[in-house]
Amino acid sequence: MKLLDTLKCHWPFGLVASMLGLVIYSISTLVDMIDANWSLRGSFFSIVLSFIIYIVLKAIWSE
């Protein structure tokens, strides 16, 4: 948990969450390029996944 404490001190939560969201969005965009049928599902999946990660991170952060 020492790493988490270090992250808490040096990284604002919003920045970490937005970076994760950006990574997930990039992955879903790549999937869209590879297979066009995935475009709608991919964007929906990325929103859901980033929301879940956001909740998990917030739970860890608030401890």
For residue 7, pLDDT over 60 is answered with no
What angle is formed at CA 33 by the lines to CA 16 and CA 40, rounded to 5 degrees? 75
Res. 47 pLDDT band, cuts 50 70 90 = confident
Query: Are the CB atoms for 39 and 32 separated by under 8 Å?
Result: yes
The two tokens of residue 10 are 């040096």
CA dihedral 58, 51, 12, 26 (to 10 degrees): 150
For residue 17, pLDDT over 60 is answered with yes
Higher pLDDT pick, 39 / 58: 58
pTM score over 0.75: no
Mean pLDDT of 53-63: 76
User: Where do the structural domains in the chain lie, given as residue ranges?
Assistant: 2-62
